[in-house]
Structure 1
Amino acid sequence: MNKPASDAENTTFNANRNSPRKSSQPCSPSSPKLSIYLLAVFVILFVLFQIQSLQTPPTSPWAFMHQWEKIVTNSCLSSFHDSSQELKAMASKLRESVTFLPLKDLRFSHAALKGHTWFMSSLYDIHEEGEVQYQQFPTDHSSGRVLCLKGRDRHDGSWNSYALAWPGALPDNATLMKGLTFVSYNHYDYHNIWHGLSAMMPFVAWHIKSQCAVPKRWILYHWGEIRTSMAPWVGTLLEATFGAPVDIETFDGIHRNESDVVDHDDATCFEEAVVMRHNEGGMSREKRMEVYDLMRCRSRMYCNVSSREKGLRIGMTMLMRNGPRSFKNASAVISIFEKECQKVEGCRLMVAYPHNLTFCQQVELMSLTDIVISAHGAQLSNMILMDRNSSVMELFPKGWLELAGVGQYVHHWLASWSGMRHEGAWRDPIGDHCPFPEDDRRCMSVFKNGRIGHNERYFSEWARNVLNDQVKLKTAQYVSISPVSGLCGCK
């Protein structure tokens, strides 16, 4: 006697319930497991269908297809649900595994400027021969991970920390900041024009290398401590170069939404970040000159300074100081250089106090300058705004040669890196009395800010030789062209 239809349906239900275990893998058309599974289901359903067809009146093929679709759909949904749970668990583990390390690694405090430095000491730089050294996130070097920072301390960098995290598994309560972020490490001082310029120019090198990418924000660190400002001259130079104001991140008032202010202990991660910590280190002289060429060109565009007129014309500029490292008799020194300038056709002497000039006034002045004469000091960084092959004449108070160390040569280096000609230095043999032996380093505190005298005979001969060299250079090539014309919007 034939079984009722309801019994047949129960048979089908039991067969389905006892069917092979469902795969926990996602239902992908290319999965071998899915193919075997579907074949087995098909065979079972085919057998059941044959049994049912012998015991009951024939049923519609659509009923059979409906049963098959229901089984397959339930199996896939279950598989996707399991996979989703596994992915969530994995993301949670990755999030918990993010480890923050001190930005300032005290293990390297005795050699903070060697190797990979004590700033973010667990990471190494990307460096191609002759190019700038940098770190970039995310890249293959970071395995696709982004940079995260934590801490706002402005007094002890070892309390601030960093970590790398995958974009889909950021630390709990982390804020993701969109756009490109420049992160700078400076071992010295952003308000010193020389040190600020040295720390910032590598970003211009990366700007060129990256086909002129522009940052949305800057983060400044000094020994791992947050800094929120830099020398105005340096800031304006960067604004001119990048075509956008320098937005320095302070981490104050960051919000995840309109009402939720981020706690200082929470992490801030960056969609894209570039880190510099070696200043010009590793860059070839040609690459450095390219960077300064671009900064000079963009600054003249920013200030709407036109190209110089053609013809033989020599601009000689004296950059003066008040107080420390000023001339004891400024009028006498000016008179010496003015007499020598008057002997050369087309020579014009200009005397300026840079602290009284705006940035654009300094750009205009230096664009007309072929020879700059100045005491050692921050104002000499203006030399990068002169045309290539211009001359630099530097003067020092007594005691610097013996006690100042390598710092006294920074403008000699800058002249070389920016394509200028450093024409030597005059060092005053006469200065203030030091109560200690003159080779005692304590005397540097007396000599550092000493005033500078003059030697008329030496100054006259020095100026005459430098002027003659500039005349020869001008005669050979007096048309000024921009070596970086067309690069990053430069004209």
Structure 2
Amino acid sequence: MHNWQKVIINNTTTTLSSNNIAHLDDEQYNCNQDLKSMASKLLDSVTFLPLKDLRFSNNAQQGHTWFMSSMYDEHEEGEVQYQQFPSESSKGRLLCLKGRDTHEGAWNSYALAWRETLPRNATLMRGLTFVSYNHFNYDNIWHGLSAMVPFVAWHLKNGCVSPTRWVLYHWGELRFKMGPWLRTLMEATFGEPLYIERFADDNDYENPFCFEDAVVMRHNEGGMSRKRRIEAYDLLRCKARIYCNVSIEGRIAEVDDRGFPVIGMTMFMRKGARSFRNDSAVIGIFEKECKKVESCRLRVAYSNNLTFCQQVELMSITDILISPHGAQLTNMFLMDRNSSVMEFFPKGWLKLAGVGQYVYHWIASWSGMKHQGAWRDPDGEKCPFSGDDRRCMSIFKSAKIGYNETYFSEWARNVLNEVKVRKIEELASTKKNNISTTTTSILSGCSCN
């Protein structure tokens, strides 16, 4: 077509004979036919591959990934691992998805196609689309947040651009919702209601959807440096506090009658699995130690009784978080930086639970908190198998947690003393410099590049 146009341009000052005009018309017709034929072949050559590659089903979390397994990620040192379409690596092609199966990811598929030659019957989705892959689920706030943090980091690095829609996958299976806590946090962070794409129910199941611009995450926080993680958690903390109309001044701002900084100690309790066997006894131990420190304020709360904003408010006045192992500990990043965490486990977890038992050590480090260790109950349910038999974990996983008054008392005293010294030093530094370093830190966490 370009060649034919060049002939016309070159002959604009020349008088063409009827034979020449006929010849040019024939060339244009033949060129148009060639272009149509080429476009048709490109349309038919788009190859859809299963989102869930069964070849890697036995090692889905190792090495490469079984989700969109033919694609490799963009990854700079310390940054988020992601894919973007269109991009240089995709040769300018868009991402297309087909299928809405919620039970078997291998029935859903993906392909790449140029915008001019999208697959037949494809619907072009305008705007930016975030495509999330989660090996676990979006209801548990720890697993859901781990899948969202890389999007927050990408959002920070790219001028705070927000998505038009989200597409959620779990093992390649389509998901249509997040847990309420996670959804509210994302709406607070991105500043607008979350739209999770369901794809048109009246659209033929085999008709694909292609995205004008898409960002895909499939490694959770893997590969991110601690610095990048802290930046993302700073943004989450600040946006959540603003959304819930909670002060962002930080804990240094609150002092007692004598001018000493108040220490907020919160016991975040559970009901059912991994709850304390005797709540009142455990509360009594920490209450006794808190009363010995004039500026200490103890609060006891049950996570299942609090709304998202009530949890944000509670964490904003907490310096020491005391809680059994569980998803409610994810709230720790909503505390001020350098706050402390004390964690409790039932019997048997150390030997049998694997690396997953350390997730709250990790998030403490990633969000700028201090994990003050964990107490592991030496007593508890008995297992009919040998001590290292993995079948015992089914008994220990949701077991109750006992207590050790001597150990808990000494542990609480040490942590309280450390936090008190730190807060006095921070307060003195703040007065000396006549600025609120905490406020400055939190406000800077709300900004984007």
- TM-score normalised according to structure 2 size: 0.91
Task: Indicate the residue corresponding to 1:158 in structure 2.
Answer: 106
Q: Shift in Å at residue 87 of structure 1?
A: 2.5
| SS of alignment partner, residue 199 of structure 2 | coil
Task: Indicate the residue corresponding to 2:431 in structure 1.
Answer: none
- Aligned-pair RMSD on alpha carbons? 2.1
| SS of alignment partner, residue 110 of structure 2 | strand
Q: Say if 1:451 and 1:38 are closer, same or farther in 2 by CA, change over 3 A.
A: closer
In the alignment, is the contact (CA less than 8 A) between 1:116 and 1:123 conserved in 2? no
Supply the distance in 2 between the matched residues of 1:174 and 1:427 (Cα, whole angstroms). Answer: 55
Q: Is 1:432 matched up with 2:368?
A: no
In the alignment, is the contact (CA less than 8 A) between 1:116 and 1:125 conserved in 2? no
Task: Indicate the residue corresponding to 1:444 in structure 2.
Answer: 393
Q: Is 1:117 matched up with 2:65?
A: yes
Q: Is 1:130 matched up with 2:88?
A: no
Q: 1:481 aligns with which of 403, 415, 439?
A: 439
Supply the distance in 1 between the matched residues of 2:2 and 2:410 (Cα, whole angstroms). Answer: 89
- Which stretch shows the higher mean deviation, 105-114 or 144-153? 105-114
Task: Indicate the residue corresponding to 2:3 in structure 1.
Answer: 25
Q: Shift in Å at residue 483 of structure 1?
A: 3.1
In the alignment, is the contact (CA less than 8 A) between 1:24 and 1:82 conserved in 2? no
Supply the distance in 1 between the matched residues of 2:40 and 2:399 (Cα, whole angstroms). Answer: 63
Q: Shift in Å at residue 447 of structure 1?
A: 1.1
1:145-181 C-alpha deviation (Å, 9 max, x unpaired): 0000111111111111100000010000111111111
Q: Shift in Å at residue 235 of structure 1?
A: 1.0
Supply the distance in 1 between the matched residues of 2:320 and 2:40 (Cα, whole angstroms). Answer: 64
Q: Shift in Å at residue 366 of structure 1?
A: 0.1
Q: Shift in Å at residue 294 of structure 1?
A: 0.3
Q: Shift in Å at residue 70 of structure 1?
A: 7.0
Letter of the 1:25 counterpart = N
Supply the distance in 1 between the matched residues of 2:335 and 2:28 (Cα, whole angstroms). Answer: 66
Q: Shift in Å at residue 370 of structure 1?
A: 0.5
In the alignment, is the contact (CA less than 8 A) between 2:85 and 2:94 conserved in 1? yes
Q: 1:305 aligns with which of 239, 246, 261?
A: 246
Supply the distance in 1 between the matched residues of 2:442 and 2:210 (Cα, whole angstroms). Answer: 35
1:393-447 C-alpha deviation (Å, 9 max, x unpaired): 0001111111111111111111111110000000111101222222221111111
Task: Indicate the residue corresponding to 2:231 in structure 1.
Answer: 290
Letter of the 1:332 counterpart = A
Aligned ranges for residues 339-488 of structure 1 at < 5 Å? Answer: 339-478=288-427, 479=436, 480-483=438-441, 485=443
- Which stretch shows the higher mean deviation, 377-386 or 220-229? 220-229
Letter of the 2:376 counterpart = R
1:226-274 C-alpha deviation (Å, 9 max, x unpaired): 1112221111111111111221112243xxxxxxx42001111111111
Q: Say if 1:482 and 1:84 are closer, same or farther in 2 by CA, change over 3 A.
A: farther
Supply the distance in 2 between the matched residues of 1:90 and 1:367 (Cα, whole angstroms). Answer: 61
| SS of alignment partner, residue 147 of structure 1 | strand
Q: Shift in Å at residue 488 of structure 1?
A: 5.8
Supply the distance in 2 between the matched residues of 1:489 and 1:195 (Cα, whole angstroms). Answer: 26
Supply the distance in 2 between the matched residues of 1:99 and 1:85 (Cα, whole angstroms). Answer: 24
| SS of alignment partner, residue 144 of structure 1 | coil
Letter of the 1:341 counterpart = C
1:14-61 C-alpha deviation (Å, 9 max, x unpaired): xxxxxxxxx992233xx7x975x789xx6xxxxxxxxxxxxxxxxxxx
Q: 1:271 aligns with which of 192, 212, 219?
A: 212
Supply the distance in 2 between the matched residues of 1:461 and 1:227 (Cα, whole angstroms). Answer: 47
Larger Rg: 1
Q: Say if 1:153 and 1:444 are closer, same or farther in 2 by CA, change over 3 A.
A: same
Supply the distance in 1 between the matched residues of 2:242 and 2:93 (Cα, whole angstroms). Answer: 38
Supply the distance in 2 between the matched residues of 1:364 and 1:482 (Cα, whole angstroms). Answer: 19
Q: Shift in Å at residue 188 of structure 1?
A: 1.1
Supply the distance in 1 between the matched residues of 2:129 and 2:320 (Cα, whole angstroms). Answer: 38
Q: Shift in Å at residue 313 of structure 1?
A: 1.4
Supply the distance in 1 between the matched residues of 2:228 and 2:100 (Cα, whole angstroms). Answer: 35
Q: Say if 1:238 and 1:24 are closer, same or farther in 2 by CA, change over 3 A.
A: closer
1:2-23 C-alpha deviation (Å, 9 max, x unpaired): xxxxxxxxxxxxxxxxxxxxx9
| SS of alignment partner, residue 485 of structure 1 | helix
Letter of the 1:357 counterpart = L
In the alignment, is the contact (CA less than 8 A) between 1:27 and 1:76 conserved in 2? no
Q: Shift in Å at residue 214 of structure 1?
A: 0.6
1:67-124 C-alpha deviation (Å, 9 max, x unpaired): 6487776666555444333322222111111000111111111221122200000000
Q: Is 1:101 matched up with 2:49?
A: yes
| SS of alignment partner, residue 168 of structure 2 | strand
Supply the distance in 1 between the matched residues of 2:116 and 2:442 (Cα, whole angstroms). Answer: 41
How many residue pairs get matched? 431
Task: Indicate the residue corresponding to 1:20 in structure 2.
Answer: none
| SS of alignment partner, residue 202 of structure 1 | helix
Q: Shift in Å at residue 310 of structure 1?
A: 4.5
- Which stretch shows the higher mean deviation, 471-480 or 397-406? 471-480
- Which stretch shows the higher mean deviation, 339-348 or 317-326? 339-348
In the alignment, is the contact (CA less than 8 A) between 2:267 and 2:301 conserved in 1? yes
In the alignment, is the contact (CA less than 8 A) between 1:398 and 1:431 conserved in 2? yes
Supply the distance in 2 between the matched residues of 1:24 and 1:213 (Cα, whole angstroms). Answer: 37
- Which stretch shows the higher mean deviation, 83-92 or 70-79? 70-79
Letter of the 1:391 counterpart = S
- Which stretch shows the higher mean deviation, 384-393 or 237-246? 237-246
**Structure 2: runs of 5 or more not aligned:** 256-260, 428-435
Q: 1:140 aligns with which of 85, 88, 97?
A: 88
Between the two structures, name the one with larger relative contact order (CA 8 Å, sep ≥ 6).
2
Task: Indicate the residue corresponding to 1:59 in structure 2.
Answer: none
Q: Shift in Å at residue 364 of structure 1?
A: 0.4
In the alignment, is the contact (CA less than 8 A) between 1:156 and 1:224 conserved in 2? yes
Q: Shift in Å at residue 280 of structure 1?
A: 0.5
Percent sequence identity over matched residues? 64
Supply the distance in 2 between the matched residues of 1:398 and 1:138 (Cα, whole angstroms). Answer: 51
Supply the distance in 2 between the matched residues of 1:84 and 1:487 (Cα, whole angstroms). Answer: 56
Supply the distance in 2 between the matched residues of 1:396 and 1:487 (Cα, whole angstroms). Answer: 33
Task: Indicate the residue corresponding to 2:161 in structure 1.
Answer: 213
In the alignment, is the contact (CA less than 8 A) between 1:25 and 1:79 conserved in 2? no
**Structure 1: runs of 5 or more not aligned:** 1-22, 43-66, 254-260
Q: Is 1:193 matched up with 2:144?
A: no
